[in-house]
Amino acid sequence: MKMYVGVTDLDWYETVKNNDCDEVNFWTPSPKNFKAVNENDMFLFKLHSPNNYIVGGGFFVRFSVLPTYLAWNAFGIKNGTTSLKVLNERILKYRSKNSIITDNPQIGCIILTEPFFFEKSDWIPVPENWSNNIVSGKTYVLDDEYGKRLFDQVSERLHKNTVVESKQLENRYGTYNTKHRLGQGAFRIAVTEAYNKRCAITGEKTLPVLEAAHIKPYSDNGPHLTENGLLLRSDLHTLFDDGYITIAPDYHIEVSKRLHEDYGNGKDYYKYHGSKLLVLPQNENDLPSSEFLEWHNNEIYRG
């Protein structure tokens, strides 16, 4: 198992800590890919110098490159800023230092779930082999003495504060086998990428009008899983949620006759009736689940 210690601002840390976030976007001003750890590995927060302490962390879900407006729409204050304007201002500050200024900037989004935050009395001094020249972060492994000691210190605090149940730690120097749950923001990004940023029904790729739809709503205990999601144009998302459109388990589209009966129109949508989904995830694990599709057919669709 690997752990990554990422360097961040005190303002970012205090914002996500004080708002009791269930997931966070540890964004980077550069869209450079992040490959330091694997999914479900631990990601720790280290404050900028002179606060040379590890103050919390979370579990890595995925990395994505997103325009700032989509990062804000997906995560809001979980970006560690109070508004999109502030997010853009902070990115501009970092980018201007490196003479990189663009409109509608793309940023790197390191998405973490189940974040935990230590009280100041529990802050962990950085390991002895931490260099003051480190700008972004450093990877540690458990078969290294520094990694073992750091993991031990983090585990002690997690157990002490019951932030993470002991069953999530296989043993003192074990590996994390638990697949950590996605939050709403991570779900949205996971579905957007699974469908290659295109509407499943129309193939539309204008990102601002695309939305991640739950097949079985979260309010009905539908999970934040990619297989419980569809990327849909906003109007189709509304009709899907309202039961005027559904997707059969074989991925063909059905449009209810109720659409015309209730609203006296719908010709722009009936042309999709009987067609197969135009876009599906390439990864089999991300394909819409027949279980969730059948639930929508039986419980929501107005056929």
Rounded CA separation 68/84 (Å): 8
Cis ω on the peptide bond leading into residue 29 (within 30° of 0)? no
User: Cα dist. 107→72, 100, 137, 233 in Å?
Assistant: 11, 12, 17, 24
Give this prediction's pTM.
0.85
**Residue 175 within a domain:** no
Question: Does some domain include residue 142?
Answer: yes
Co-location of 148 and 243 in the same domain: no
Q: What is the pLDDT along the chain (303 residues), one digit of tens a residue?
A: 799 999 999 999 999 999 989 999 999 998 889 999 999 999 999 999 999 999 999 999 999 999 999 999 999 999 999 999 999 999 988 776 655 556 668 999 999 999 999 999 999 999 999 998 898 999 999 889 999 999 999 999 998 766 554 444 444 334 444 566 789 999 999 999 999 999 999 999 999 999 999 999 999 999 999 999 999 999 999 999 999 999 999 999 999 999 999 998 888 999 999 999 999 999 999 999 999 999 999 999 998
Distances in whole angstroms, Cα of residue 202 to Cα of each of 96, 165, 188, 229, 275: 39, 44, 19, 16, 10
Q: For residue 250, which of 213, 297, 182 has the smallest C-alpha distance?
A: 297
Could you tell me if 6 and 153 lie in one domain? Answer: yes
- Same domain, yes or no: 153 and 268: no
Residue 194 lies in a domain: yes
Indicate if 90 and 121 belong to the same structural domain. yes
The DSSP result for 158-208, as a single string, is: HHHTTSS-GGGSSSTT------PPP-HHHHHHHHHHHTTTS-TTT----GG
Pair 77, 204 in one domain: no
What the block records as the tokens of 258 is 């109720």
Query: By C-alpha distance, which of 80, 112, 71 is closest to 11?
Result: 80
| Phi, psi (deg, nearest 5) at residue 50 | -90, 5
Same domain, 121 and 210: no
Tell me the C-alpha distance between 16 and 45, whole Å.
12
Domain assignment present for 179: no
What is the Cα–Cα distance from 188 to 194, expressed in whole angstroms?
Answer: 10
- Both 150 and 218 in a single domain? no
* Whether residue 123 is found in the same domain as residue 188: no
First-to-last C-alpha distance (Å) of the chain: 50
Structural domain boundaries enclosing 258: 184-299
Residue 85 structure tokens = 């304007």
User: Is 173 inside a domain boundary?
Assistant: no
How many domains is the chain partitioned into structurally? 2
Phi–psi pair at 200, nearest 5 degrees: -65, -30
Q: Which of 168, 196, 225 is the last residue of a domain?
A: 168
The whole-angstrom separation of Cα 122 and Cα 39 is 26
Instruction: Specify the pairing of strand 253-255 against strand 245-247.
Output: antiparallel
CATH of the domain at 65: 2.30.130.30
Q: ∠ CA(127), CA(133), CA(139), 5° rounding? A: 50
CA neighbor of 207 nearest in space, from 73, 93, 89, 19:
73
The residue out of 137, 168, 199 marking a domain boundary is 168
